[in-house]
Amino acid sequence: MFLVLAALTQTAALAQPAAPPPSPKSAADISVADFFRLPRYAQMSISPDGKHLAAIAPVNGRDALAVIALENRSATVVANFSRTDVGEFLWLDNTRLFFRTVNRQLDTGTPQYLASFAVDIDGKNSRNLSPDRRRIRVLSTTRDGSGDLIIGMFAESRSTEGVYRLDTRTGRTKILTHKNPGDVTAWALDRSLVPRAALRLEPRESPNKLRRQTLWFRDKADDEWQQIAATDDENAVIRPIAFDADGETLIVATRAGKDRTALYKFDPKKQTLGELLIAHPWLDVSGGLIRSQGAGEVLGVRYSDDMPRTQWFSQRYAELQAAVDKALPNTANTITPAEEGAKHLVVFSQSATDAGAYFLFDVNPRTLEKIGATREWLPPSLMAERRFVMYTARDGLKIPAWLTLPRGVDAKQLPLIVHVHGGPWVRSFHGVQWGRAPTAQFFASRGYAVLEPEPRGSLGFGAKHYRASFKQWGLAMQDDITDGALHLVKEGIVDKARMGLFGGSYGGYAVLQGLVKDPELWAAGSAFIAVTDLELLQSVTWSDTARLTDYFETDFKRRVGDRDADRAQFDATSPAKNASKIRAPLMLTMGAQDERVPIIHGTTMRDAMEKAGKSIEYHVYVDEGHGFNANENIVDFYARNERFFAKHLRK
């Protein structure tokens, strides 16, 4: 199987760096370019009947979509473009696929999908499903062999998403929500694919109030929608996820007045919560449902705490999972369900040290065949170990974090890089951390301990963790980051004299503010696409956030503050206004095309440093936005960081 896939890549050289020497002696011998090469196989998935395997693989320097018939192992490239890549795909039925295109070489930051297509497994009957570039959101396959999709799309109104059945062969749509609650943020379909539950975001009553969220329900497709719940309390919101196989019971995500979100069954007619499906002691569980290919039965839930996990409700899949885990120990093994009776399943196996490999699982007899590795040029035996840690901030709040330690050295008195994520209201770090930029593995290969904390404000760790961040930019949020580093010093793992900060967007702000707030503590800081001035963040009218939303005049004031009412705090916690306090070497990197944090943030910080008589290593990528993605820029960025931290943190 591996040879079949490999043959697809032999028609031309990849538009990426050449393969490294076959056997590096240590991770330090692996080049920057090879650490940040895109994976060889970005996605693999098996058809519902288990007879065909589809994969995104490089052909002629671009990611293409290929299909392999498992009976005779013949391969067909069904979609390949000279100027764009296949970015993601899904099976519509046993003979047809849906996929999106993206330009991986030029795309900046988060991938911007260019178009959506459908194609048969022989490469025929290709259809552009977004000729007007209108973005469609996939809600469900139809599971009836038609090759149709159920999608969400803004067609009749710019503010109201409708639900449609899309014929992927003709491109025609049929609306399923003539009577639409409007401003819907979440839909739930029953087993007949009828939208019957919706969460609506109500118009804002005033700038200082949260928008109410209302839950709507209808019993049948032609019934009127009825509002069955309403709240402006985030702890009481009931988000519909899906209908169970009975077509009557909703599965919902809600905090139910508690600290963390969990999944429950819900009776929409009685408007009562029922059975608790899954909850976690320190993590929000708000989705991740796994549905059967046939009736849409809920088979299990995926979530990620210290490692990716699957909790199966299906006894059959629980037994298959146990068999796979026994055959592939010490890895997180993800099984994708197929139709009942399918002979084959695909398993993706990965760990903190293994970027991942795909296996073909023969259900009877239970055997595994390796299909291909995503990054075979990064030997797992050389990759750094990764630990989950939970440390206590100075005010008693528990902070989850991941610590990556260099292989082959004692975890004592190491130089430290604290990697701070953006957002800040996101979750960024997991026990298995690969993707586009395996940053922690790279820095660990160069001898650094790498701490990746989820400070207060990070999502997914409960309401208290989130709300404790309000109006705490540069204050308690900053202390959480510092306290993580000091925890490692206390443990003897880290040398207090050799600690540095690294981060982008909000993480870039935290790098700069760390150098301002605790100038004697940090030996170096590298910030990129960084917020540098809180007043500027709110006043710049040409950012995408300011142009497209009312955020800076509403929720921003509640979460961060206001440039007028909180001027003293903004002045004290804006790095560009306090550049004179910085002692450590600073590197700042910006994207000229950044619409989220416009480049004025970079020039303002650069000018402030120069005015204060401080040195700054300042660089701008003219073709990048809010995040760097072009191969040459990624390699250059991390190479410059390698030199910067080696100069200031290594003995």
pLDDT in tens, 403-436: 999 999 999 999 999 999 999 999 999 999 998 7
Task: State the pLDDT at residue 465.
Answer: 97
Looking at the predicted structure, is the pLDDT value of residue 451 above 90? Answer: yes
Q: Which is more confidently placed, 9 or 127?
A: 127
Beta strand 524-528 pairing with 586-591: parallel
Q: What are the C-alpha distances in Å from 422 to residues 308, 312, 482?
A: 21, 32, 16
Does the pTM of the predicted model rise above 0.85? Answer: yes
Helices (H), 518-583: 534-539, 544-548, 555-559, 567-572
Residue 21 has pLDDT above 70, yes or no: no
**Residue where a domain stops, chosen among 329, 355, 374:** 374
Same domain, 77 and 220: no
Together in a domain, 574 and 630: yes
Q: Judge whether 428 lies within some domain.
A: yes
- Same domain as 278, residue 415: no
Query: Tell me, what's the pLDDT at 157?
Result: 66
Question: What CATH number is given to the structural domain containing 529?
Answer: 3.40.50.1820
pLDDT band for position 13 (cuts 50, 70, 90): very low
Cβ(254)–Cβ(248) under 8 Å?
A: no
Q: Are residues 263 and 402 in the same domain?
A: no
- Condensed to tens digits (0 to 9), the pLDDT of residues 377-393 reads 999 999 999 999 999 99
Query: What pLDDT is attached to residue 58?
Result: 83
Asked whether residue 29 carries a pLDDT value surpassing 50, the answer given is yes
In this predicted structure, what is the pLDDT of residue 3?
52
Whether residue 510 is found in the same domain as residue 569: yes
300-327 mean pLDDT: 95
Question: What rounded mean pLDDT belongs to the chain?
Answer: 91
pLDDT classification of 639: cutoffs 50, 70, 90: very high
**If you average pLDDT over residues 345-356, what whole number do you get?**
95
Contact present, 559 and 470 (Cβ < 8 Å): yes
Residue 437: pLDDT band (50, 70, 90) is confident
What pLDDT is stored for residue 111 in this prediction?
A: 59
Q: What is the pLDDT of residues 70-124, one digit of tens each?
A: 989 899 999 999 888 898 999 999 999 999 998 765 544 455 667 999 999 999 9
- Residue 471 · residue 566 · CB < 8 Å: yes
- Is residue 454 predicted with pLDDT exceeding 90? yes
Same domain, 496 and 523: yes
Same domain, 9 and 118: yes
In this structure, are 42 and 68 located in the same domain?
Answer: yes
In this structure, are 584 and 561 located in the same domain?
yes
Reported as a pLDDT band with limits 50, 70 and 90, residue 577 is: very high
What is the span of the domain harbouring residue 439? 384-649
Mean pLDDT to the nearest integer, 554-571: 96
Last residue of a domain, one of 349, 374, 399: 374
Q: What is the per-residue pLDDT for 59?
A: 85
Give the Cα separation of 562 and 570 in Å (integer): 8
Q: Which of 10-19, 274-283, 293-302, 337-346 has the lowest mean pLDDT?
A: 10-19
N-to-C CA span, the chain:
48
- pLDDT band, residue 610 (cuts 50/70/90): very high
Phi and psi of 284, rounded to 5°? -75, 135
- Res 158: pLDDT: 67
Same domain? For 391 and 301 the reply is no
SS (H, E, C) 226-288: EEEEEECCCCCCCEEEEECCCCCCEEEEECCCCCCCEEEEEECCCCEEEEEEECCCCCCCCCC
What would the pLDDT profile of 166-192 be if each residue is shown by its tens digit?
A: 999 999 999 999 888 889 999 999 988
State the CATH number of the domain containing residue 34.
2.40.128
> Do residue 370 and residue 395 come from a single domain?
no
Same domain, 289 and 354: no
Residue-level pLDDT at 12: 32
Query: What's the whole-number mean pLDDT along residues 596-617?
Result: 97
Number of domains in the chain: 3
In a domain, 465, yes or no: yes
Quote the pLDDT of residue 11: 38
* Residue 546 within a domain: yes
